[in-house]
Amino acid sequence: MKREERLLVKYYRLSLEDEADGESNSIRNQRKLIEDYVEEREDLRELGSLELSDDGYTGTNFNRPGIKRFLDLLKKNQVACLVVKDFSRFTRDYIELGNYAEQIFPFMDVRFISVNDRYDSSFQSSHDGLEIPFKGILNDLYSKDISTKVKAAKRQMIKNGKLCSGSYPFGYRKREQGEINRDGIPYRIDEEAAKVVRLIFHLALQGKKNIEIARVLNEQGCLTPGMAKRKNGSFGYGLKEGERSVWDSTKVLNILRDERYAGTLIIGRYRGKGVGSGKVEEMPEHMWFRKEMGMPAIILREDFERVQSLRPRGKRGAYKKEHHILYRKVRCANCGHFLYYKPSEYGVQYHSFFCKQPHLRPDSKCFRGYIKEREILEALLSMIRVQVQLAETIKAESKRKGKGEERQQAKKRIERMEKEIERKKGLKAQCYSEYKHGELTKEEFLRKKENIQAEIQVCQQEIQIIRESMEVQEDEKELVERYGGYEDDIKLDRDMIERLVEVIWVYDVGRVKIELK
């Protein structure tokens, strides 16, 4: 893609911590600053522009929708220039900042501009070898310092029995801060969702199993916790707009185990793992803050205790992160969910997968029954063997034809064509000069211009043909690199599947579609 066809990306970011810094860091002010900067520079105004923003996201990692879109465009070579207010808007991780600014952007021919840092990668005078790493280190230290202070403040709030999270349990809604300050009660009952909670406990007291309760809730069309939060304008546990979820035994059990429904306020159950990790870990139970009748109860304490006696907790051993060979690779082609894995006590040849949706919803159109793990592995192995054989054929053909040398010749041919195009553009400009000085008539100028333009188009078409041929060779090269190292006697393992397989779609028993990477 030509540089003039690529995009100027204006990127804005505001984290929750930055909101405390005042108006200067707002998305609106970042946009104004960058737009004024671009407007003053003709070379930037000529580029087509795209705005990307992340409001309320930390800069310590790249787990942000806007930056993910930018990186996707970058991979497709569709970015000519990235403009940010300062380095910390792009990232506060100084290692990643240096990696992108000094290696990836130059390699991808992307101009990087940080307005407030007065940094423009196009001008040597603005490039100081220590500038980016030093400012990146300062931003990284700032993030860690803020994180430490925020965690300390939250720990103190928890000790004082104050809520420091914006989330709320299913069946409740968050109260206004003024109401919380008045009586210290953080939640109010959401009657619509509370009816579902009462129904779950009622069915449990009747002796219904978790899966039976889930089936009743799905038949009655009860909103799940995620769907209820989405309806109320909250995050919804990652559910996308319009996406539906169903009740299952795990969701039911989580509600039946939650003591908050009996009126016990519990704070500080989870904490963040580290700066920018985006992950949480459960704290030991003795570190939780508990307050009896600290929130309105949806069910009676006696009913909660009776349900616990009907569902005694088993001993929880240490969690072993051991997964089957096709872990998170097999999905239902109808609902898109990962299939459940069912090991068999009769041997590995009977291990199978099934979709849980038909067990939860009678109207589900997902396949019913169990597909053997062995059948999927045999189909996968057959497909990989075909790719390995194809890779060997391409490798032998490349060696016979000397494709490495052929590729170098193609690159040199493109370079010659590009130089020829520049030369012909110079001739076109010379013709125009001769016409302006009266050395050529208008008809002679137009004829020469048309001939030169036709020659330029021939060169451009030849370059396009060569590049398309080189892309085919790149695809072949990638296939050889991915599959060329395997022997005839291939044995599937977890690492190989993770490296080669994107997803396996199951339409029905004996009917699968495998997507390789």
Q: Per-residue confidence at 475, pLDDT binned at 50, 70, 90?
A: confident
pLDDT one-digit tens code per residue, 405-441: 777 888 888 888 989 999 988 888 888 888 888 888 8
**Per-residue pLDDT tens for 222-233?**
999 988 888 887
For residue range 167-206, what is the model confidence (pLDDT) as tens digits? 788 999 888 877 775 777 788 899 999 999 999 999 999 9
Which of 284-290's residues contact partners 24+ apart within 8 Å by CB, and which partners? 289/158, 289/159, 289/161, 289/265, 290/264, 290/265, 290/266
Residue 68 token pair: 């993910």
Q: What is the pLDDT of residue 381?
A: 92
pLDDT at 273 over 70: no
pLDDT of 318 > 50? The answer is no
User: For residues 138 and 88, is the Cβ–Cβ distance under 8 A?
Assistant: no
| Residues 42-57, mean pLDDT to the nearest whole number | 89
User: 50-86: per-residue pLDDT in tens?
Assistant: 999 998 888 888 889 999 999 999 988 899 999 999 8
Is residue 177 packed enough to be buried (19+ CB in 10 Å), middle (13-18) or exposed (0-12)? exposed
Residue-wise pLDDT tens digits, 371-414: 999 999 999 999 998 888 888 888 877 777 666 677 788 888 88
Residue 252 has pLDDT above 50, yes or no: yes
pLDDT over 90 (residue 301): yes
DSSP class of 377: H
Q: What is the pTM of this model?
A: 0.49
* Paired tokens of 124: 């040597």
